[in-house]
Structure 1
Amino acid sequence: MTRTPTDPFDVYTEYGRTQGNTRVVGTAESAFRGADASIHSRIAQKIGDLRPRLHELVVDLYEHPEIAFAEHRSVEQIAALLKEQGVEVTVGTFGLDTSFVATAGSGSPHFAVIAEYDSLPGVGHACGHNIISGIGVGAFLALREVVGEIGGTVSLIGTPAEEAGGGKELIIRAGGFDDVDAAGMVHPSAGSSPSPIYDQPSSGVRRVAVTYHGRASHAAGSPYLGLNALDAVVTAYQSIAQLRQHILPIDRLHGVITDGGSVPNVVPEVASALFFVRSTEIDTLKVLTERVVDVLEAAALATGTRAEITVDPEPPYLPYVGNVELLKRWAGHLTERGREVPLVPASVRQGGPSTDMGNVSQYIPAIQPALGLGAAAGISPHNAAFADITVLDPAIDALVDAATALAGAAADYLSDPSLREAVHAEFEARGGRVRWED
């Protein structure tokens, strides 16, 4: 049987025609009125009052990090803070033990503030999800103070397993965002500057796992009887490296050998690897995944082994595309707090890390801007030193500013019909709701 390899020409050519095109144009300034100044003043006051308690929460999560789907204590601490403030919290929502929901107000429109709280194995909260929790709790509690006056509903949705497991996609599949109109969260970053307000998609990511099945034999006495599964993994790994020369410059491929055999004098009968496939567009993500699968199957053919390939053992993370009209509101409130927001043209495209917030942004209008915690040069997320800075005063200063700006943007959205119309017009103009369908 001869299989024709996937030809990426059409999809990649289309990307070449469109990359660099601006999805949005205009200035950083929002054209909309938003909520009254008195609302924003009350939001800022409430979050300022909460600062000591939010700091305690951040420190507690830092000292007791929990990985994906095991964030039981973290959720208990977040729920305890909310209950102290008189908020009813439902834990174990959407079929996930460590998801939660708290709601205030009633009716439409409905804005959801997102919280994350899973940590990384070995390095704790080196991605700053403890800070994300503090931002989300602070923003929600401030909005709770004013939602009765401005109308609509605000929710705090606790989403487990961002680092591994795709909690937000699982919540989407369970209908958790079906009655939500827009959503937002803020992610910490290194340095001291916020991320740009213009539309910069992050990469989507798919995981491709492969196990090769060969035949064991004595590596010295009868190597000719063996079919080497490790050879298949090495062939696949090297072929993926060759594929990297012929993919889009902002796409990413990387992998690890998860099982390479046990002892050298036995031809490995079983060997495994795991690869991450990243691209900034859904179409190119699918094409690149197909090319990776072709490579893995070819390695089996070359070595006489059998490839057991699993695509998406965890839910795919879709490319994140922030809603610019909402980002402008966030940036404006951040600027009012004395933080400079750098502008990057919308034509700039970048790959890099991935997040399941991308799935939310493809489902409803959403934002996930970033705000630096004041880390020294050389300290970046996913390094243990980054976890340490999340509990320092500069990081808590950033938390307070980020929560105030996020709550402000949400209040603007709930208050201003013209802003809502523009937010949803932008969302529909770029294609509207997308759900992952392979």
Structure 2
Amino acid sequence: MDTNEILMMQTIDSNKEKLHSLAKDIWSFSEVGWEEFKSSKLIMDELEKEGFKVQRGLIGKHPKFEHDIDMPTAFKAVFEGEKSGPTIGVMLEYDALPNGHACGHNLISSAGLAAALGLKEVFKKIPGNVIVYGTPAEELEGSKHYILAGGHMDEIDIMLGSHYSSKWGSEVTGKAIVWPTHDNWLTFKGKSSHASSEPEKGRSALDAVIITTIALEFLREHTLETDRIHYIISKGGTAANSVPDLATLNLELRSNKSSELNDLMKRVDNIIKGAELMTDTTAIYKWDAAWYCATPVPSLYKSAAKFAPILGIDENEFTFGNKPQSSSDLGCVAYEIPTVEIAFPIVKDNEFLPVGHSEELAAITANDYPIDQSILAGKLMAITAYRI
């Protein structure tokens, strides 16, 4: 390591207790998307103490419909170096699931803050800037694409992110995903009537939803193995003896490529049209802006792996060519900005990693070992950005 790298590592080590406390506090808050007021305030207060200029709350823009999106729990924290130079972005997440921090977003905050604190000290000496983004609601509709479309990331040269895993890695992988806008999801509108005395006068919205789900199940046989279709019936009527005039399907579609997702959407559109015709109902929905797949930057991913041995991490432990499994709004950023996401293990070798989004996973994300690993990931993020 050179003197600047040693300084970064010393800075992060000196803040280890603070980072542990922050990760555990965010875990204890367990605030779901768009409600992360305590978590975001905790991080923003800390960044201000460290000399960052913090914009509390951001106005983003919808990338498809172009209206403003008010995000009170989002933030942008800027540290400007002594001279102009490259600008490094660091992504933080802090929203929980209803069953707690079962996706480890508290660890994304400790990793990102560690990287930001280390880079800040170096940029006091060399040209460069670091910007920390607080990105709420990743488990809902996301916010990074709104922040990006709002122009808040225009100055970024390289973006850094992180996420827990079973192994070390440095790729940005994720399926493209889309859903109907959350104001209606996929809602069918029919006509209510007494289900026994005058059923012929009713037009069942619930029938339309059920027909749609049956057709989706038959569609699965004829989609790509990498496609995914998820749904729940969130509204199906109010009484069994009334023909439901409104019924709602919460629906999500995923594919490994944006082009494949577009094809899947067209086929689902046809299913919805068929359900309308068969039930004499009307579907109310519009597809939201999709989360994109990342634009791959293999040289960036491999650089992170190459620098890992500096921190005692075996380069051979890094995994590449991972098949996309889930989705992240980080893909929207990585579609436009060179981005590296450090994956870090949160269980020791031969230990069982609980299933993601489970209560068992949430139970371990405030333990010392996962937090230590997130801090180590923050060190690797900082060194990668510095060396590149």
Give me the TM-score of the superposition, normalised by structure 2: 0.90
**Aligned AA for 1:325?**
S
How far has the Cα of 1:275 moved from its partner? 1.0
Deviation string for 1:199-228 (max 9, x for gaps)? 563101100321111122222222222211
Identify which of 175, 178, 181 aligns with 1:206.
178
Provide the C-alpha distance between the structure 1 equivalents of 2:353 and 2:157, rounded to a whole number of angstroms.
39
How far has the Cα of 1:185 moved from its partner? 0.9
Deviation string for 1:316-341 (max 9, x for gaps)? 21113442222223223333323345
Describe how 1:153-164 pairs up with structure 2 within 5 A. 153-164=129-140
Identify which of 79, 85, 90 aligns with 1:113.
90
Contact 1:251 1:351 in 2 (8 A): no
SS in 1 for 2:125: helix
Aligned length: 369
Deviation string for 1:34-82 (max 9, x for gaps)? xx62222221111111110000000110111212222111111112222
Describe how 1:17-416 pairs up with structure 2 within 5 A. 37-94=2-59, 95-104=70-79, 105=81, 106-120=83-97, 122-189=98-165, 191=166, 193-195=167-169, 197=170, 201-208=173-180, 209-312=185-288, 315-340=289-314, 341-342=316-317, 344=319, 346=321, 350-374=323-347, 376-377=351-352, 379-413=354-388
Deviation string for 1:88-121 (max 9, x for gaps)? 322123352112222222523211011111111x
Let me know the Cα RMSD of the aligned residues: 1.9
SS in 2 for 1:118: coil
Provide the C-alpha distance between the structure 2 equivalents of 1:378 and 1:67, rounded to a whole number of angstroms.
23
Provide the C-alpha distance between the structure 2 equivalents of 1:157 and 1:343, rounded to a whole number of angstroms.
26
Provide the C-alpha distance between the structure 1 equivalents of 2:377 and 2:319, rounded to a whole number of angstroms.
19
Contact 1:334 1:401 in 2 (8 A): no
Provide the C-alpha distance between the structure 2 equivalents of 1:169 and 1:162, rounded to a whole number of angstroms.
10
Deviation string for 1:381-414 (max 9, x for gaps)? 211221221211211220121000001111112x
SS in 1 for 2:121: helix
Provide the C-alpha distance between the structure 2 equivalents of 1:69 and 1:254, rounded to a whole number of angstroms.
23
Provide the C-alpha distance between the structure 2 equivalents of 1:275 and 1:269, rounded to a whole number of angstroms.
19
Provide the C-alpha distance between the structure 2 equivalents of 1:316 and 1:222, rounded to a whole number of angstroms.
42
Contact 2:32 2:96 in 1 (8 A): yes
Provide the C-alpha distance between the structure 1 equivalents of 2:15 and 2:356, rounded to a whole number of angstroms.
26
Could you say which structure has the higher strand fraction? Answer: 2
Provide the C-alpha distance between the structure 1 equivalents of 2:353 and 2:128, rounded to a whole number of angstroms.
44
Provide the C-alpha distance between the structure 2 equivalents of 1:59 and 1:343, rounded to a whole number of angstroms.
27
Contact 2:172 2:341 in 1 (8 A): no
How far has the Cα of 1:351 moved from its partner? 3.3
Q: Decide whether aligned partners of structure 1 residues 343 and 75 sit closer, same or farther in structure 2, where only a CA change above 3 A counts.
A: closer
Contact 2:102 2:357 in 1 (8 A): yes
Provide the C-alpha distance between the structure 2 equivalents of 1:117 and 1:201, rounded to a whole number of angstroms.
20
Deviation string for 1:220-260 (max 9, x for gaps)? 22222221111110000010111111111111111111111
Provide the C-alpha distance between the structure 1 equivalents of 2:146 and 2:320, rounded to a whole number of angstroms.
33
Provide the C-alpha distance between the structure 2 equivalents of 1:200 and 1:141, rounded to a whole number of angstroms.
23
Contact 2:56 2:72 in 1 (8 A): yes
Provide the C-alpha distance between the structure 2 equivalents of 1:345 and 1:272, rounded to a whole number of angstroms.
40
Contact 1:252 1:278 in 2 (8 A): yes
Q: Decide whether aligned partners of structure 1 residues 322 and 402 sit closer, same or farther in structure 2, where only a CA change above 3 A counts.
A: farther
* Structure 2 residue runs without a partner (length 5+): 60-69
SS in 2 for 1:186: strand
How far has the Cα of 1:175 moved from its partner? 0.2
**Aligned AA for 2:155?**
D
Provide the C-alpha distance between the structure 1 equivalents of 2:208 and 2:317, rounded to a whole number of angstroms.
48
Contact 1:202 1:320 in 2 (8 A): yes
Contact 1:372 1:398 in 2 (8 A): yes
**Aligned AA for 2:337?**
I
Equivalent pairs: percent with the same residue?
31
SS in 1 for 2:55: strand
Contact 2:192 2:242 in 1 (8 A): yes
Contact 2:87 2:129 in 1 (8 A): yes
Contact 1:207 1:276 in 2 (8 A): yes
User: 1:10: which partner in 2?
Assistant: none
Q: Decide whether aligned partners of structure 1 residues 322 and 407 sit closer, same or farther in structure 2, where only a CA change above 3 A counts.
A: farther
Provide the C-alpha distance between the structure 2 equivalents of 1:338 and 1:224, rounded to a whole number of angstroms.
73
Provide the C-alpha distance between the structure 1 equivalents of 2:360 and 2:296, rounded to a whole number of angstroms.
29
**Aligned AA for 2:91?**
I
* Structure 1 residue runs without a partner (length 5+): 1-35, 414-438
How far has the Cα of 1:378 moved from its partner? 5.6
